[in-house]
Amino acid sequence: MTPGVHIGVGLRPPHYAEVLEDPPPVELFEVISENFLGLRAGGGGRPLEALEQVRALRPVRLHGVSMNLGSVDSLSETYLGRLRSLAERLEPECVSDHVCWTGEGGENLHDLLPLPWTEEALDHLSARVHHAQQRLGRRLVLENPSSYVAYRHSTMAEWEFLGELARRTGAGLLLDVNNVFVTARNHGFPPERFLDGLPPAAVAQYHLSGHDDSGPLRIDTHDREVCLEVWALFRHAVRRFGPRPTIVEWDDRLPPLSTLLDEAHRARAVLKETLDAAVALAG
């Protein structure tokens, strides 16, 4: 392990037993918040019992997918209340969600749907991030999702929107490097431009994952290793923003834990090499 470099993996249920039996050499774990909020009636059930055992070993980060921050529906106070209770119980390093909407009209599509990058959306989202932060009693960290759709009536670039959102709300940015790459390819701009447009102080965490490049659009599948181009973009991010807690995510076609740990090991090596090179250059 390298001082100042915090690497972890997204922990999914099939790997719990192995992690508890033989804790792997990572500094932290990230879990999907909704998996520990139980059913409509509340409670966290067996998944939360197991997560509390993991929490006794390592810090955890709560990463949500259903806060629905960008929706025109009211924010769910029940959801926020439950998330707050979960955070009080687990004392996570951070609570994050996405810059997106997930449902409308009371219906949850369970997807990270893209917003238009407009002043209307920015005002709307900023007010809701403020409210959620107040309700949770903590700073939120917000991730850029992958997108397949962009809107002609957007008036700013995504990175400008994110930077301004962070400035207005004080929220941190969870920079998903794979998502930047997927979005850039799908909408035809250089991914480095996205990174170069973000305010460095707002970037609080990195995500890395794999995507499907077999069709006309890149699809964020979280079902394979991080590709070479995303590793290169990660180097670019580390040079620009410095080290940040970094999580490797894998959700579909989940491999053995050792494969995720190999990816985490590679992330650590890339971070260290890039930082060493920067130090050498400065010296």
Partner 1 sequence: MPRSPSLAELQRWMRWALTHPLGVARATSGEQLARLPERFTEPPARALPVVAADETPGRTAADRLAVYGSGYFSRLHGTLQVEYPQLSAALGEVPFRELAAAHLLRRPSSSHSLADLGEDLAETLRSHPLGLESPWLVDLAAVERAGAEVWLSDAALDEGGLLAANERWEELRLALAPTARLVRLAWDVSEWSAGSEPPPRRSGWLLVWRVEARTGLEWIDDGPGAVLEALARGVPLAEACGMAETLRLSAEAVTTAFAHWRSRGWLLGARNPEGFFGAA
In whole angstroms, the minimum distance from the beta carbon of 104 to partner 1 comes to: 4
Instruction: Name which of 25 and 46 has its Cβ closer to partner 1.
Output: 46
Q: How many residues does the chain have?
A: 283
By the 8 A CB rule, do 263 and 224 touch? no
Closest CA to 268 of 11, 20, 28: 28
For residue 46, the minimal CB distance to partner 1 (Å) is 5
Radius of gyration of the chain (CA): 18
Cβ-based nearer residue to partner 1, 153 or 282: 153
Instruction: Give the residue with the Cβ less far from partner 1, 3 or 215.
Output: 215
Q: Which of 237, 146, 246 is nearest to 200 (CA)?
A: 237
Per DSSP, the three-state class of 146 is coil
Shortest separation between residue 192's beta carbon and partner 1, angstroms: 21
* 119 CB neighbour count, 10 Å cutoff: 12
- What is the nearest approach in angstroms of partner 1 to the Cβ of residue 29? 19
- Phi and psi at 8, nearest 5°, equal -150, 180
Q: Which residues bind partner 1 (CB under 8 A)?
A: 34, 37-41, 43-50, 66, 68, 71-72, 76, 79, 101, 103-111, 113, 115-116, 118, 120-121, 124, 148-153, 186-188, 215-217, 219
Among residues 34 and 176, whose Cβ is nearest to partner 1?
34
Q: Are 260 and 9 in contact (CB under 8 A)?
A: yes
CB of 77 to partner 1, least distance (A): 12
Q: Please identify, using beta-carbon distances, which residue of 3 and 152 lies nearer to partner 1.
A: 152
Helix (H, G, I), strand (E, B) or coil at 204: strand
Instruction: Report the chain's terminal Cα–Cα distance, integer Å.
Output: 24
Q: How far is the CB of 184 from partner 1 (least distance, A)?
A: 14
Q: Which is nearer to partner 1, 212 or 229 (CB)?
A: 212
CA pair distance 208, 139, nearest whole angstrom? 22
User: Please, what is the minimum distance in Å from the beta carbon of residue 272 to partner 1?
Assistant: 36
Residue 143 gets which letter from DSSP?
E
Specify the residue, 68 or 126, whose C-beta has the smaller distance to partner 1: 68
Place of tokens 């939360």: 48
Grouping H, G, I as helix, E, B as strand and the rest as coil, residue 154 is: coil
